[in-house]
Amino acid sequence: MANKLTAEQDALSISLIRGLAMDAPLKAKSGHQGTAMSLAPLAHVLYSRVLQHHPGDPTWVNRDRIILSNGHASILQYAMLFLGGWGLTLDDLKNFRQWDSATPGHPEAGHTAGVEVTTGPLGQGFANAVGMAIAEEHLRAEHGPVAINHHTFVIAGDGCLMEGISHEAASLAGHLNLDHLICIFDDNKITIDGSTDLTCTDDVPARFRSYGWNVIEAGEIADDCDALERVLLQARQNVGSPTLVVLRSHIGHPSPELTDKHEAHGNPFTAELVSSTKKVMGIPDEPFWAPDDVVAAYRNHMATRGQQCVSEWVSLNSEEVRTALKTQHELPLASNIAPALPVFTPDTNLATRQAFQKVLEATNDALPHVLAGAADLTGNTGAKLAGTSAFSATNRSGKQVYYGIREHAMGAALVGMALHGGVIPVGGTFFVFADYMRPSIRLAALSKARCVFVFSHDSVGVGEDGPTHQPVEHLASLRAIPGLQVIRPADPNETSAAWLAAVTHDGPTAIILSRQNVPALTDGSAVHPGAAIIHSTASPKATLIATGSELSVAMDASRILQNDGIDVNVVSMPSWERFASLTSAQQEAIIPRTLPRISVEAGSTFGWHHIATHCVGIDRFGASAPGNVVMEKLGITAAHVAETTKAAVLG
């Protein structure tokens, strides 16, 4: 590995980082400088001495991943990406938190080179890191330690570890012995409200030891570069468990006025406070001080070190291996998957959750990089690859991940796995528990993470479990998330098509599946455009638009109406998002706006009025009774749909 920077260069670089950490928030009149200042030596040591990465090749598959879970300290990461040569400029730092800048308030994956995941909501980045570590372990087992052998480093603060998601994720990581996962806990004992003593007396080291983590209590070494390096390399060499490095830091250091003060967390230093701190550091009192020679030396060091990392890896791995890994990180081709998709005959009567499992298994050879799992509901949700082994502490080749009753952690881990690349993560639970996963689903959409969320038991048809387990508002809730593809297939063939649409989509997908059996009414062709006519008449008087299990209700209603002399078309609409991408003319050909349009869905009617003129749905919570009884009592019946349609047609 390339030589280290000199002690003088270390000191100048750390002062430069701290100066930028104050200057950018001051100019923006917004930001969090205190944590970035105190962690400047840590970031410097990580980037320049420890991490296996290359600024000239930010997507190199065997790079170490670095996640800033306490993403409010984003200026720390941006300062490193500027100093290290990832492409950020001083102008980018001067545009910190401004419109269309490369330096938004919190790090965003896909927006800024060198940012691995989108962080900000505390604890999410920590749980993303667990997913990344799972993906790395599986790929290492598949390709061998010469091709894949990197670590995931995550920096987390008190807030990350207070959030409930961290408890779930840490427990899972310890159980799986993810020894390529290293968390540096920024133990500065400060939150926005004040000292952590106000709210928390957890013994964090003891907590993580109880999860099975290796814990290194590093103590007061936050400003000692050599001590930091020794501890981080010690963590990297640990085998058999993830590692927590507890680093005692002092927020706002070395500010004479605000060190260890909660005001340093999120209130940009005044110009006077910045000046006094720069005086203590012994650097010029000028904004965005970044001497060309210091920056050039740093970038040269990083480029040399990074090129050496990549060159050594290339020399050890054949072109065939490198190409295979590159291809594995790309979006699958529909043409490679479609031939493997099962086709269900018209006499099929099967719950879509059961159909999903059949589809998943049928495409196993075509999609060997799928890692499926569920939150203690593997068989119930269909997110199961029968015949494959479990991913575990002793079997990294396993393709079935058992997340336990940890929906929060599972959702974020799926995002981390997807953003790591090389695997297609699938995770299932009951639809009502999408509420537990919503922050992760939202961040998946924001970062275009290619993961598949599988939600079964999708309506009041769940039955006897009652309203606590009967999703009503959840479809509307997920459809409101920009960038999330939501597909509710009506039958087994639409389920097959939904899987194809999910794995070839450049972003996250939620597939919503039924508990109860449904007849095979379609050929699945409605999924690609988002909607299609599955029953047409020569002179329709109205259009019935249904999703999921309610398609059969709409079909039954069309027969009642036909007997009463009212012909209607029936449209299956598995995906609003895909339908919305059609041209106006294409939409009009499927659902003419000149006719009454009646939506049929066993859930909230919220949002349907932009498509339908009349809605049959459920705008209340469900009830405990057999599913068919609940459906009938709440009006999801062919008779009620026919009655609503007659009123719409006859005025």
Specify whether the CB–CB gap between 32 and 107 falls below 8 A: no
**Is residue 407 flagged as an active site residue?**
yes
3-state secondary structure of 156: strand
What tens digit of pLDDT does each residue of 5-51 get?
999 999 999 999 999 999 999 999 999 999 999 999 999 999 999 99
Tokens encoding 461: 């048809």
Return the residue matching tokens 């993403």. 71
- Distance between CA 273 and CA 382 in Å, rounded? 58
Calculate the average pLDDT of the chain: 97
Would you call 468 exposed, middle or buried from its count of C-beta atoms within 10 A (0-12, 13-18, 19+)? exposed
Instruction: For residue range 192-243, list pLDDT tens digits in order.
Output: 999 999 999 999 999 999 999 999 999 999 999 999 999 999 999 999 999 9
Interatomic CA distance for residues 561 and 605, integer angstroms:
23
Annotated catalytic residue within 116, 168, 407, 601: 407
CB under 8 Å to 309, separation ≥6 — which residues?
1, 52, 53, 54, 60, 63
pLDDT digit string, tens, across residues 507-517: 999 999 999 99
Tell me, what's the pLDDT at 81?
98
What share of the chain has pLDDT > 90, as a percent? 98
What was the pLDDT predicted at 651? 84
pLDDT of residue 447: 98
Q: Which residues contact 122 (CB under 8 A, 6 or more apart)?
A: 69, 70, 157, 159, 160, 162, 163
Give mean pLDDT, residues 536-552. Answer: 98
pLDDT tens profile 441-487:
999 999 999 999 999 999 999 999 999 999 999 999 999 999 999 99
Q: Is the dihedral of CA 462, 465, 466, 467 positive or negative?
A: negative
Q: Is the pLDDT of residue 3 over 80?
A: no
Same topology, domains 7-314 and 532-650? Answer is yes
The amino acid sitting at 251 is I
Question: Can you tell me the distance from the alpha carbon of 462 to that of 453, in angstroms, rounded to the nearest whole number?
Answer: 19
Positive or negative, the Cα torsion across 575, 577, 580, 583? negative
- Give me the pLDDT at residue 10, please: 98
**CATH code of the region 7-314:** 3.40.50.970
pLDDT for res 425 = 98
Distance CA 355, CA 548 (A): 13
Q: Is 110 exposed, middle or buried (0-12, 13-18, 19+ CB in 10 A)?
A: middle
- Rounded to the nearest angstrom, the gap between the alpha carbon of residue 630 and the centroid of all alpha carbons in its chain is 34
CATH for 532-650 (3.40.50.300, 3.40.50.920, 1.20.210.10, 2.40.50.100): 3.40.50.920
Average pLDDT over residues 107-129: 98
Convert the pLDDT of each residue in 402-432 to its tens digit.
999 999 999 999 999 999 999 999 999 999 9
Q: Judge: domain 334-519, CATH 3.40.50.970.
A: yes
Q: What pTM was computed for the model?
A: 0.98
- pLDDT band at 4; cut points 50, 70, 90: confident
Confidence class for position 153, pLDDT limits 50, 70, 90: very high
Convert the pLDDT of each residue in 274-312 to its tens digit: 999 999 999 999 999 999 999 999 999 999 999 999 999
Q: Are strands 542-546 and 597-600 parallel, antiparallel or unpaired?
A: parallel
Q: How many CB atoms lie within 10 A of CB 266?
A: 15
Mean pLDDT, residues 69-96:
98
What per-residue confidence (pLDDT) applies to 266? 87
In the predicted model, is pLDDT for residue 69 greater than 70?
yes
- The length of the chain is 651
**Domain regions of the chain by residue span:** 7-314, 334-519, 532-650
Return the axis-axis angle of helices 292-316 and 7-28, rounded to nearest 10°. Answer: 110
Check pLDDT > 60 for residue 2. Answer: no
